[in-house]
Amino acid sequence: MNLYEHTIIARQDTSPSEIKQLTEKYSKIIEKNSGEVVKTENWGLLNLSYLIKKNKKGSYIHFKIKGKGNIISELEKNEAIDKKLLRYLTVKVKNFDLETNYFSKKEESEKREN
C-alpha cells in the first residue's frame, strides 16, 4: 500500500456545506477504489500566492490516503472536471505526520505546549 497526501483548493465563494459535500464526495471515490482515508483536515480559507481564475483566496481540504496508484488517477480525473475546484496536488510520502496540525490557531498551539 502506498501513502499519499492529497490537497484540493476550492473556490473562495464555496459555502461550508459545499466544502463538506466535496470532502464526502472525494472520500467516497477513494473508498470505492479500495483505498482508505486515514485523516481529513479542513485548513479553511487561505490567501493564494497569485490569482487563480480571478480568486485571491481558496478553501483548502487535505486528505491523508492509503491505497494503490489507481485511486489517485481516478481522483484527479474527477477533480479536473469539477468547477468548484481551483487546484489539486498529490504527493507520495513514506509515512504520515498525524500529530502536527500546521494550520491551527497560534493560541491553541501555545495552550498545548503549556
The pLDDT tens digits for 4-17 are 999 999 998 888 89
Q: What's residue 53's pLDDT?
A: 86
Residue 31: inside a domain: yes
The answer to whether 60 and 43 have CB atoms below 8 angstroms apart is yes
Burial 92-112 (b: 16+ CB within 10 A, else e): eeeeeeeeeeeeeeeeeeeee
State the cell numbers at 57. Answer: 483566496
Beta bridge partners of 85: 10
In this predicted structure, which of 32-41, 88-97, 99-108 has the lowest mean pLDDT? 99-108
Res 109: pLDDT? 46
Any domain includes 108: no
In a domain? residue 106: no
Task: Confirm whether pTM is higher than 0.75.
Answer: yes
The domain that holds 43 is classified in CATH as 3.30.70.60
In a domain, 113, yes or no: no
Does 100 map to a domain?
no
Its domain, for residue 24, covers 2-94
CB atoms within 10 A of CB 89: 11
Q: What is the pLDDT of residues 36-92, one digit of tens each?
A: 888 888 888 888 888 888 889 999 999 999 988 888 888 889 989 988 899 999 998
Tally the domains of the chain. Answer: 1
